[in-house]
Structure 1
């Protein structure tokens, strides 16, 4: 089974994402902020990270930059998931290492297509 780490400070978003991803046959773990996510990746890197932008402790962008400094056998794919839709935000996410970008609110079809685009669905 493919693995996904859902990183969001909202329990509701994590729960919705978990439900969708489990229907897509992913094993799902969760983190409430970027530091918790980085610690989790260091222990066991997932196939893909669904990453929120605005979080306490460590933001999504800060997480991406830190992830880029880590040594992984296979670097997790990262899909940024946020309400920020400005082209500057999208560019900043891609420049920091995101593989794809999805807007909130999202649905099963949207997530499935983004996961297919990065090669993990």
Structure 2
């Protein structure tokens, strides 16, 4: 059984945040088909929602990427360019584009999770033997 790491955001959720970047930007609640309906209780005292915090963390992680990787993220997720247009703008092949998208998501995952990502990677290595 995988240990629970406090403050950890899974790769699946990083992708979900990226895929729904436009909704985050507009303050919409993200769709989560696996979520059980719950009563969230009172609003936080500072008025900053969890979605807003996720957007701030995501934007900070994107800002720390290299300029090319930022362009990849903008084409794929934040600007939502069609793939053909993104390939022309970036001057790369489709295979390289998708490889860089995966790499950008990995860097964002590492940046957003910090030490928790290192602990998770260590756990994966230990379990592989």
The higher-RCO structure (CA 8 Å, 6+ apart) is 2
User: For the superposition of Structure 1 and Structure 2, which TM-score range results when normalised by the shorter chain?
Assistant: under 0.3
Structure richer in strand, relative to its length = 1
Query: What TM-score comes out, normalization by structure 1 length?
Result: 0.27
Q: Which has the larger helix fraction? A: 2
TM-score (norm 2): 0.26
Larger Rg: 2
